[in-house]
């Protein structure tokens, strides 16, 4: 079996004195989408931030494309080929849509063909090109945060709860966009919306209390309602 694009082995993360990740192990194979599920507070965001180097792991091994990234600084991890769409979206509200996207393209002005491709599934980005990001709606900010992550091709994109707070119609649009993205790169998606996750994901890992409690094919989990209930519905009790 080929080596996974990203792997975590026994990763522990402390935030201050709190022991948040308590030995997280999972792998993201190259290509397609891996979904990280789990109830609120399970540690999903902390896991993504640890991969990005925004929290330093206190133990364990993180490997990306063959290299150990556990001790690397965030900019170096980004330059290794990982893009990040945080839960807060973190668009620069004082900058225009154009400026936000331009900054995300590190190697020079964004490629016009690439921009047209992005506009094809996020037409709002074209319409609001010169608008300050601060005036966008929540859904448009999410689109901008994703556009930033894909304006140049990266090997892995981490996306944290992109559907949070979005209207159903906008979520439908997001599904189309992610289908398109999946074709060219690898995505690690954190989600609470199981229907959204199930319609896109190829693999799934479920977290609870700072650990991975299940990993496998998304199709298997989607087909097994009992397992869904055990892992997601009543996940508080799932391993006690």
Ligand X SMILES: Nc1ncnc2c1ncn2[C@@H]1O[C@H](COP(=O)(O)OP(=O)(O)O)[C@@H](O)[C@H]1O
In terms of CB distance, is 104 or 174 closer to other proteins?
104
Binding-site size, ligand X (CB under 6 A)? 11
Q: Please give the span between the terminal C-alpha atoms of the chain, in angstroms, as a whole number.
A: 33
- Distance, CA of 166 to CA of 179 (rounded, Å): 18
In terms of CB distance, is 57 or 136 closer to ligand X?
57
- Considering the rule CB under 6 A, would residue 206 count as an interface residue with ligand X? no
Q: Over the Cα atoms of the chain, what is R_g?
A: 18
Among 18, 66, 108, 169, binds ligand X (CB under 6 A): 18
Q: Which of 178, 170, 211 is nearest to 197 (CA)?
A: 178
Binding stretches for other proteins (CB under 8 A): 52, 54, 73-75, 78-79, 84, 86, 88, 90, 92-95, 98-100, 102-104, 106, 109-110, 112, 115-116, 126-132, 134-136, 148
In terms of CB distance, is 70 or 133 closer to ligand X?
70
Contact 5, 42 (CB under 8 A): no
Contact 8, 61 (CB under 8 A): yes
Q: Which residue has the tokens 């994901």?
A: 201
- Considering the rule CB under 6 A, would residue 45 count as an interface residue with ligand X? yes
- Considering the rule CB under 6 A, would residue 205 count as an interface residue with ligand X? no
Residue 22 DSSP SS3: strand
- Considering the rule CB under 5 A, would residue 45 count as an interface residue with Mg ion? yes
Residues that bind ligand X (CB under 6 A): 15, 18, 20, 38, 40-46
């Amino acid at each position: 079996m080929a080596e996974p694009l990203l792997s975590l082995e026994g990763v522990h993360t402390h935030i201050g004195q709190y022991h948040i990740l308590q030995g997280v192990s999972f792998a993201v194979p190259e290509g397609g989408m891996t979904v990280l599920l789990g109830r609120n507070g399970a540690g999903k965001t902390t896991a993504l931030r640890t991969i990005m180097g925004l929290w330093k792991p206190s133990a364990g091994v993180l490997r990306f494309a063959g290299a150990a990234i556990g001790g690397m600084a965030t900019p170096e991890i980004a330059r290794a080929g990982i893009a990040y769409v945080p839960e807060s979206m973190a668009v620069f509200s004082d900058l225009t849509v154009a400026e936000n996207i331009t900054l995300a393209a590190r190697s020079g002005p964004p490629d016009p063909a690439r921009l047209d491709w992005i506009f094809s599934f996020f037409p709002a980005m074209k319409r609001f090109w010169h608008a300050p990001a601060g005036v966008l709606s929540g859904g448009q900010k999410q689109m901008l945060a994703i556009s930033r992550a894909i304006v140049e091709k990266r090997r892995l994109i981490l996306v944290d709860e992109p559907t949070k707070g979005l209207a159903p119609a906008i979520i439908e649009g997001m599904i189309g966009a992610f289908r398109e993205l999946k074709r060219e790169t690898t995505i690690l998606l954190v989600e609470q919306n199981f229907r959204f996750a199930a319609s896109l994901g190829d693999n799934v890992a479920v977290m609870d209390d700072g650990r991975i409690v299940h990993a496998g094919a998304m199709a298997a989990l989607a087909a097994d309602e009992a397992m869904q209930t055990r892992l997601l519905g009543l996940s508080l009790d799932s391993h006690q």
